[in-house]
Amino acid sequence: MDLILEGIVTAFQLLWALDPEVLGITWLSLKVSGLATIISVVIGISVGMIVALTRFPGKKFVVSVVNTGMGLPPVVVGLFVTVFLWRNGPFGFLDILYTPTAIIIAQAVIATPIVMGISIAALQNLPSKLRLQILSLGATRLQMVGILVREARLPLMAAVMAGFGGVISEVGASIMVGGNIKGYSRVLTTATVMETGKGEFAVAFALSIILLMLVFFVNYLFTLIQQRERPR
Amino acid sequence: MSDTNAIISVEDLKVRLGGVSILDIPSFSVRQGEFLSLIGPNGSGKSTFLLVLNSLLKPVSGRLIYRGEPVTGRDEAFRYRRKVSMVFQEPLLFDTTVYKNVASGLKIRGLKRDEIRERVMRYLGWFNIEHLAQRSARKLSGGEAQRTSLARAFAMEPEVIFLDEPFSALDPPTRHAITDDLDRIVSETGITTIMVTHDQSEALRMSDRIAVMHDGGIVQVGVPSLVMNNPVNEFVANFVGMDTILVGNVIRVVDGMATVLVSGKEIDAFGNAGSGDCVYCCIRPENVTIELTDPDDLTSARNTFPAVIRDISSIGPFLKVILDCGFSLTAFVTREAFAVLDLKEGKNVYASFKATAVHLIRDAKHP
């Protein structure tokens, strides 16, 4: 119990003192995972929409691949991204291994199937005749897509939350492709792993609490957006 | 097309699904301002036909013509869809308020806010749902939801409105209230309406013409009395509710009166048939009367048979009585008459119907 209490106290001390290192780590976590989420939302929802709304041979196979991707182990993604960005690898010339950019790429790869899979389910869950109804109201294709997204806004926001939740809490890929370099590519999760390894439990607790609070506040914001304008 | 009043017509229309022909209509047209009902059993292609008419489904061949102009390309289809509107069996409302639902088609068309407001309020009023304007569409009863869906379709003030069994999921009182309102609005606006329905009384009451569909084709089109009283074939007769259909052979024809031998009994009927023809005698249950004594009425050509009551069931205001006169005959009896005659199963009675009440259909397959 003492350990936990000490951790909570340390966490508030670090926050209260605006410890520049901790603030830097927190800010980087938010920035990296936020960007990765944005990328995954753009790709996941648009591709998910195409998959959900069109008919093509092998659709079931594509959907099951996407659904499998929702459970993609971060270390596997980390391994592949590392190999691709390795000096001799196909994208080695970019020279971005062990940078925050590499973490963004790896996290986007993890989050995209999550967002896409939930988006497909969300859009397929709408009544099949709804599209015909929207077209018969005189909508253009673009207006139809807009209305469908609005109709599926609750599960689509859930997709965004799941994507963000998946990457902000992920550690394997971040360590592998980011390298946990102090003041450069260290994020909350990688720092927690390191501090725990060193036996600095109080600091590790502090970082964990900050991570939890961060996840809570971001999801609270998303939830506010999700639940607004619901008529009674 | 020869019909100059046609607002919508189709030519050589064919729709296939997985190699199976599901719609084949050589020619059909809807007149400006009419109320046309499409009736037919499940799977006869009614809803598919409605989707084609609404240009939401592209046929494999054939043309859809609107006011003399073919609706061919994507742009034409889009412009056409802005002139018509459709109400489905499910209300398919958006997850927002009733007001915004009714406004949706107008918003899609880019109308100004004030104009939208004026129109939405007018149509909410017409369908008696003004008080629900700010209610969530998710919290409506079935009837209220379908009213909202109708108001949304009418608010666009389309030239033609398509209704795909809009009331089939509603309970009878709700259904009657809505059809009354719809009837009033349609006749006040004079809007051309095409409705798919299962309910023949609904079709009879509201329609200028009825089209009966069967196996992807239209088997008969005409004013309700024509379709109901002069069905072109056995299928239509069966479908429009001629509960008794007897198969027999014409044994003689005298002065237009044919005598048909059915299960050893002779039935007199007026109709276009020749001696030796195999015919269907269609007798509507409301035209059959039940009496306790032999009426022995020789003044009008009447068919009277001694009968035994086999079954009695209740349908709405009537009792449906199934009689055995050597052949099976169905009669509708009012509750009053039922009580006076003291009818019960197994009782011996006399069943009679006029020769003019028998509609003869020649069996084309077995001449």
Burial code (b: 16+ CB inside 10 Å, e: under 16) for B90-116 equals bbbbbbbbbbbbbbbbbbbeebeeeeb
Calculate mean pLDDT across residues B156-176: 90
pLDDT(B243) > 70: no
Q: Domain limits at A190? A: 2-12+27-227
Give pLDDT, residue B162. 96
A155 inside 8 A of chain B by CB: no
Share of chain B above pLDDT 90, in %: 46
Distance CA A225, CA B80 (A): 37
Distance CA B256, CA B19 (A): 47
Instruction: List, as ranges, residues 38-57 from A with C-beta within 8 Å of B.
Output: none
Distance CA B55, CA B80 (A): 8
Chain A residue at shortest CA distance from B80: A138
To the nearest whole number, what is the mean pLDDT of chain B? 87
Calculate mean pLDDT across residues B306-312: 90
Q: Is A6 within a domain?
A: yes
For B347, other C-beta atoms within 10 Å of its C-beta total: 15
B255 inside 8 A of chain A by CB: no
Calculate mean pLDDT across residues B53-77: 91
Helices A153-168 + A100-124 axis angle, to 10? 150
pLDDT(A173) > 50: yes
Distance CA B137, CA A231 (A): 9
Calculate mean pLDDT across residues B159-184: 89
Residue A44: which CATH number?
Answer: 1.10.3720.10
Give pLDDT, residue B297. 62
Residues sharing a CB contact under 8 Å with residue B360, sequence separation 6 or more, in sequence order: B258, B260, B269, B270, B271, B272, B273, B279, B280, B281, B282
Q: Cβ-count burial of A219 within 10 angstroms (0-12 exposed, 13-18 middle, 19+ buried)? A: middle
Has domain B6-237 been given CATH number 3.40.50.300? Answer: yes
> Is residue B162 within 8 Å of residue B88, measured between CB atoms?
no
Tokens representing residue A59 in the block? 């659709």
For B361, other C-beta atoms within 10 Å of its C-beta total: 22
Instruction: List, as ranges, residues 162-221 from A with C-beta within 8 Å of B.
Output: none
Q: Side by side, which strands form the sheet with B61-66?
A: B20-31, B6-17, B61-66, B69-70
Q: Is A22 within a domain?
A: no
CATH topology of domain B242-362: OB fold (Dihydrolipoamide Acetyltransferase, E2P) (2.40.50)
User: Do the bridges between strand B160-164 and strand B84-87 make them parallel or antiparallel, or are there none, so unpaired?
Assistant: parallel
pLDDT in tens, A5-56: 887 888 788 778 878 888 899 999 999 999 999 999 999 999 999 999 999 9
Q: Is A19 within a domain?
A: no
Domain locations in chain B? 6-237, 242-362
Q: Is A135 within a domain?
A: yes
Tokens representing residue A138 in the block? 């005189």
To the nearest whole number, what is the mean pLDDT of chain A? 91
Residue showing tokens 């006076």: B340
Calculate mean pLDDT across residues B332-355: 88
Whole-angstrom CA distances from A85 to A78, A95, A178, A183, A231 are 10, 7, 11, 21, 49
Give pLDDT, residue B2. 46
Q: Point out which residues pair with B354 in neighbouring strands.
A: B302
Main-chain phi, psi angles of B19, to 5 degrees: 80, -5
Tokens representing residue A10 in the block? 């340390």
How distant is the Cα of B208 from the closest Cα of chain A, in angstroms? 25
> Is residue A159 within 8 Å of residue A115, measured between CB atoms?
yes
Q: Is A21 within a domain?
A: no
Interchain contact, B92 vs A127, CB within 8 Å: yes
Q: Which among A136, A148, A154, A226 is the top mutation candidate for probing chain B, defined by the most B β-carbons within 10 Å of its own β-carbon?
A: A136
**Hey, what amino acid is at A99?**
T
Write A53-59 long-range contacts (CB < 8 A, 24+).
Answer: A53/A123, A53/A131, A53/A148
Residues of B in contact with A130 (CB under 8 A): 92
Local confidence band at B148 (pLDDT 50, 70, 90 cut-offs): very high
Local confidence band at B367 (pLDDT 50, 70, 90 cut-offs): very low
Residues of B in contact with A138 (CB under 8 A): 78, 81-82, 85, 105, 108-109, 156
pLDDT in tens, A61-80: 999 999 999 999 999 999 99
Residues of A in contact with B51 (CB under 8 A): 132
Tokens representing residue A162 in the block? 């799941």
Give pLDDT, residue B31. 94
Calculate mean pLDDT across residues B143-168: 94
Q: How many domains does chain A have?
A: 1
B213 vs A6, more confident: B213
Give pLDDT, residue B1. 41
pLDDT(A225) > 90: no
pLDDT in tens, A66-125: 999 999 999 999 999 999 999 888 998 999 999 999 999 999 999 999 999 999 999 999
Give pLDDT, residue B273. 82
Give pLDDT, residue B300. 60
Give pLDDT, residue B72. 86
Most confident of A75-79, B55-59, B266-270, B324-328: A75-79
Give pLDDT, residue B282. 83
Interchain contact, A231 vs B90, CB within 8 Å: no
How wide is the angle at C-alpha B300 spanned by C-alphas B294 and B303, nearest 5°?
50
